């Protein structure tokens, strides 16, 4: 496993999302353009995107299941992960049905019938919810995250975002950017290490305290 990723799920999710959403958009385009060359081309591309998207979704479900059973989590993140998983399986079922409808539609020169269009549009909406919940797993609940930045006094001049709200300042940033202290909470690699030498193995990272981040190992299925 590449050191900074917890599992392969974050690597494959983007293929499923992009291919399936592109398939839906191309089916709509192909239907709107009708039997013109652009409509035919869009329909062929839509079918390929759908087929590849369903393959990618299969890998996404498998890696998601592995993630679900291995990432450290607590009760709130467990609840979000479970909702995410339910939406994911529902979404996959809709796109599987869309694949069946596309197969039935295969002799159509361009565009999609109402059943296929409804399925890819409903599937896209459901995919958006699934992706949103997946993002929450990571960015709201901190699942699979190796370290979180420490809250200290770092703020960029003129900052008004969450960093400012949490009290991060760059005190010595007179010219715009200066980091007097820019250590991650739990450095996992030593980028200063000379080439060809093995940096000392880091201890498993301790998480910084954040109200929403899972504290690890505290929850069992």
**Which chain residues interact with ligand HEM by CB under 6 A?**
6-7, 9-10, 13, 16-17, 57, 60-61, 64-65, 67-68, 71, 81, 84-85, 88, 91-92, 130-131, 134-135, 137-138, 143-144
DSSP assignment letter at 201: P
**How far is the C-alpha of 126 from the C-alpha of 120, rounded, in Å?**
10
- For ligand HEM, the closer CB: 43 or 60: 60
> Which segments of the chain are extended strands (E)?
none
**Cβ at position 204, least distance to ligand HEM in Å:** 16
Among 97, 110, 131, which residue's Cα sits nearest to residue 42? 110
- For ligand HEM, the closer CB: 54 or 110: 54
**Cβ at position 80, least distance to ligand HEM in Å:** 9
- For ligand HEM, the closer CB: 1 or 182: 1
**How far is the C-alpha of 55 from the C-alpha of 40, rounded, in Å?**
23
Structure tokens at 125: 């909406």
Is the distance from CB of 79 to CB of 14 less than 8 angstroms? no
What is the CB neighbour count within 10 angstroms for residue 71?
22
**Cβ at position 9, least distance to ligand HEM in Å:** 4
- For ligand HEM, the closer CB: 27 or 141: 141
- For ligand HEM, the closer CB: 72 or 110: 72
**Cβ at position 41, least distance to ligand HEM in Å:** 27
Among 90, 96, 119, which residue's Cα sits nearest to residue 24? 119
- For ligand HEM, the closer CB: 67 or 117: 67
Structure tokens at 3: 């050191």
**How many helices and strands, by DSSP H and E, does the chain display?**
5, 0
**Cβ at position 74, least distance to ligand HEM in Å:** 13
**Cβ at position 147, least distance to ligand HEM in Å:** 15
Q: Which residues contact 181 (CB under 8 A, 6 or more apart)?
A: 152, 154
């Amino acid at each position: 496993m590449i050191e900074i990723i917890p599992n392969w799920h974050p690597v494959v999710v983007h293929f499923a999302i992009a291919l399936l959403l592109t398939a839906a958009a191309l089916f709509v385009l192909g239907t709107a353009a009708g039997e013109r060359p652009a409509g035919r081309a869009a329909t062929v591309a839509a079918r390929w995107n759908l087929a590849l998207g369903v393959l990618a979704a299969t890998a996404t479900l498998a890696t998601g299941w592995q993630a679900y059973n291995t990432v450290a989590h607590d009760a709130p993140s467990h609840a979000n992960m479970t909702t995410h998983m339910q939406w994911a399986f529902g979404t996959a079922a809709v796109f599987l049905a869309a694949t069946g409808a596309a197969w039935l539609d295969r002799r159509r020169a361009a565009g999609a019938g109402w059943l296929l269009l409804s399925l890819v549009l409903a599937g896209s909406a459901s995919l958006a919810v699934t992706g949103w919940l997946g993002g929450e797993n990571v960015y709201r609940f901190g699942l699979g995250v190796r370290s979180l930045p420490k809250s200290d006094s770092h703020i960029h001049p003129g900052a008004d975002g969450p960093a400012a709200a949490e009290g991060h300042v760059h005190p010595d940033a007179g010219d715009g950017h200066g980091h007097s202290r820019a250590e991650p909470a739990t450095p996992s690699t030593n980028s200063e290490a000379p080439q060809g030498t093995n940096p000392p193995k880091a201890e498993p990272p301790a998480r910084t305290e954040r109200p929403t981040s899972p504290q690890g190992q505290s929850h069992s299925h």
